[in-house]
Every structure is written in structure tokens, then in C-alpha cells.
Structure 1
């Protein structure tokens, strides 16, 4: 019987649950990963105010625009951490199938960073933020009846 890992995630927390077989019998949590930096306001993530520059037309000066949003950088950093954990679990033989249930933006970031072999065993991807649901039985209602 195949072991299925279910990742329930947003930009700040990822829970890895495990169950057996197509109907996902015995759903239980095996690990929680947390990334508190993703919950911090953007101005608290940078150490400086943006630099100032002369306007290309006229005499005025203005603040320079940040090249990337610091909160997006933190989300991508956490997605990389989750992807590495999934890779090590798969190559360690801990699971054979993967289901991802994540907030839409985090799902996109995680998809891009998955190991190609792990990406091949993803049987379902659900773009929905249900990371606050603690009870595995309540979480099961958001999953397909048969996972693969």
C-alpha cells in the first residue's frame, strides 16, 4: 500500500500529514515547519529606508523603488525549505504519493521549486488556504475522495 504525504501550507507554516492508500486511511500529522518571518510586515524585514535619487526629468529627488518585495523573498525562502524537506522525504522512501493543499501564491512558489522527481508523484494540487484547520478529520473534507 502506498504512503501518501499531504502538505497543508501557507507562506508561514507547512504541516506534513501522512496516510495510507487511495482512500487515505489513518490521516495523522508527522511534522510542522514554521517560518515566522513571513508574518512580519515588509518594513520590518529591511534594515534601511530606500535610497534617494535625482529625477530623470526636473530638479526633484525621490525615493527609489525596492526591486522586490521582502515578503515575497521570505515566502520563496520558506517554499525552498518545504521543497527540500519533501525531496529528502521522497528520496528517503518515506512516501510514494504527494498531495499539496496550499494558499494559491504559496502553491505557485512551491511548484516552481519542487524536485523534478517529486513533482512527478504529485497526484493533486489544491489552491486553497486551509492551514488554520487543526483537526485531520476536518481537513480530510477538503481533499478528494480518492487521492490517486
Structure 2
């Protein structure tokens, strides 16, 4: 005999099963989409970083690092390095002499220490520390570039220190250096530095 209650019960179970299937399908689709969205976000972030231009404003005692996505954008300071060793007394950081000092006698027969042919004057403390600081800057820039933090590089560096820093840059960085200005603007604000760069670029 036909029982309406059984038909209702079957319909209810079918509806419940369909709802569960739809929910599972929705959940699976959502789980598949989440990693895709996450990867897309990371990819966009890397692309934005790689489009960035880094500006290094430095001298032998200080280096400031700025980031700029577009030429018209303001500069954002991302790091500030200070050469603490430049404040040490010369005697504390004198580098070793390359050759021995040979003792010989003068015309009066008095023993005196005179430089041998292999002797070279000790490197000055300031120059020694400046070279170490330049190596630190070059290493930091290489690491930042390999971490995809910038794609283009501008060097705004005091003349003497620029000559010291440039040879220390890794070959990977040489191709991304798009601008060099041999000026010391380390005391300038980000806005002032940007103005100087724009003025220099406008001159061509």
C-alpha cells in the first residue's frame, strides 16, 4: 500500500544527501582556490618588489637605502647603515705592514731601524675602515637583489667612496645600476634627495 510518509522521508533524505554533496563540492573548490590566491598574492608582491628602484645615498661613514617603485613616487627609507669603525683611534685599527723593517747601521755606526725594500706604509685607518664598510654595503645590496627586493639601482655616493664601492659590486648588480651621482647627500631628507635625483636626471 502507498504510504505518503515513506515518500516524504525518501525525498527528505535525497535532499539532505544533495545538500551534503553540494557543500562538499563547494568546500573542495574553496580549498583549491585558496592556495592559488595565496600564490597569486606572493607573485604580485615579488613583481612589485622587482619593479622597485633602490637608491643608495652614501659616504665613507654612512649609507642610507631608499626604495621607489616609480620615478614620480616618494622615496621610502628601508635601511640605514653607519660605519662605527670610523670613530676608532688610528692606532686601534692600523693594518699590518707588508714587509719587515731591517736594522742597519748608519754612517756613524749607530744601529737604526730603516725600511727594507719590501716595506710599504701602513694603510690609514680611515681608508681601511672605508673599504670594509664598502664591502658591507656591496654584500647587503647583493643579498637584497637576490631576495628580489629591487630591479634597478641608483648610486648617489661621495666621489672618493664611489670609486671604492663600484669595483666591489657583484657582476649581478653591475647590469642593474641605472644611475650614478658622485655627490654626498647623506644629510638630505628623502624629499630633498628625490629632488636632487630628478634635477640630475632632467639635465640628462
SS at match of 1:61: strand
Tell me the distance in 2 between the aligned counterparts of 1:120 and 1:47: 33
Within a 5 Å distance, the mapping from 1:97-136 to structure 2 comes to 97-133=152-188, 135-136=189-190
- Deviation, 1:61, is 3.2
Report what 1:140 is aligned to.
194
What is the total number of aligned residue pairs between the two structures? 144
Q: Structure 1 or 2: larger strand share?
A: 1
SS at match of 1:123: strand
Q: For the Cα contact (< 8 Å) 1:52–1:61, is it kept in 2?
A: no
Q: Structure 1 or 2: larger helix share?
A: 2
Matched, 1:17 2:84: no
- Deviation, 1:55, is 6.0
Q: For the Cα contact (< 8 Å) 2:66–2:77, is it kept in 1?
A: yes
Report what 2:93 is aligned to.
45
Moved over 2 A (4+): 39-48, 51-67, 144-147
Tell me the distance in 1 between the aligned counterparts of 2:89 and 2:136: 21
1:92-145 residue CA offsets vs partner (Å, 9 max, x unmatched): 100000000011111111101001011110001111111112x21111122145
Cα distance change, pair 107–56 in 1 and its aligned pair in 2 (3 A): farther
Report what 1:6 is aligned to.
55
Report what 1:61 is aligned to.
112
Tell me the distance in 1 between the aligned counterparts of 2:79 and 2:101: 45
Which residue of 4, 26, 32 maps to 2:80?
Answer: 32
Matched, 1:96 2:129: no
Tell me the distance in 1 between the aligned counterparts of 2:78 and 2:195: 19
- Deviation, 1:24, is 4.2
- Deviation, 1:44, is 4.4
SS at match of 1:141: helix
SS at match of 2:191: helix
Give the TM-score normalised by structure 1.
0.82
In structure 1, the gaps of 5 or more residues are: none
Q: For the Cα contact (< 8 Å) 2:59–2:158, is it kept in 1?
A: yes
Give the TM-score normalised by structure 2.
0.61
Higher RCO, 1 vs 2 (CA within 8 Å, ≥6 residues apart): 1
